[in-house]
Structure 1
Amino acid sequence: MAESESLEGNSDNRGKNVEDFKMDMKEFLEEMERLTVCAARTAYDCVTIQTNPDLPNAVQHLEDVFLICREQIEKKWQEVLMESRGEGQKKE
C-alpha cells in the first residue's frame, strides 16, 4: 500500500517537473526570440551605417556644430561670471 502511494507521489512530482520544464523552455525560447530580434536590428543598423555615404559628412557636421555651441556656451558662461562678480563688487 505504501508502495502505491509512493508511486502516485512520484507521478505527481514527475507531472510537476514536466510542467516546470515546459514553462522553462517557453521562457528560454521567448528570450532567444527577443535576443534574435535585437541582434537582427543591430546588424541592420550596422549595415545601414556602413553603406550610407553621407554619414561621415553628417557626423563631421554634428561635431562641428557641437564645438561651436560649446564655445558659445563657454563664452556666455564667462560673461555671466564676470557680471556676477561685477555686481558683487558694486554692492560692497
Structure 2
Amino acid sequence: MAEAEPQGENWENSMKKMENCKKDLENLLEEMEKITVHAAWMTYNMVTIHTNPDLNISMKHLENAFLRCKQQVERKWQEVLKESEGEEQTKE
C-alpha cells in the first residue's frame, strides 16, 4: 500500500508535465504562425516593389520628404532650446 502513493504522485507529476508541454507547444506554434505571416508579408512587399518601379520611386520620394521634415523639426527644436536658455539667463 505504501507504494501506491508514490505511483499516484508520479502519475500526477507526469500529467502536469504533459499539460505544461502541451501549453509550450501551443505557444511555440502560435509564434511560428506569427513569424510565417510576417515573412509572407515581407515577401509580398518585396515582390510588389520589384514589379512596380513607380512604387520604388514613390517610396524614395516619401523617404526624402520624411528626412527633410525631420531636419526642420530638429532645427526648430534647437531654436526652442536656445530661446529657453536665453530666457533662463535673463531671469537670473
TM over 0.5: yes
Q: Distance in 1 between matches of 2:8 and 2:41?
A: 50
Equivalences for residues 1-92 of structure 1 within 5 A: 1-59=1-59, 61-62=61-62, 63=64
Q: Distance in 1 between matches of 2:22 and 2:66?
A: 53
Gaps of 5+ in 1: 85-92
Contact 2:49 2:56 in 1 (8 A): no
- Percentage of identical aligned residues: 45
TM-score (norm 1): 0.63
Rg (Cα) greater in structure? 1
Q: Distance in 1 between matches of 2:11 and 2:20?
A: 14
Gaps of 5+ in 2: 84-92
Detail structure 1 runs of 4+ shifted over 2 Å in the superposition: 55-63, 65-71
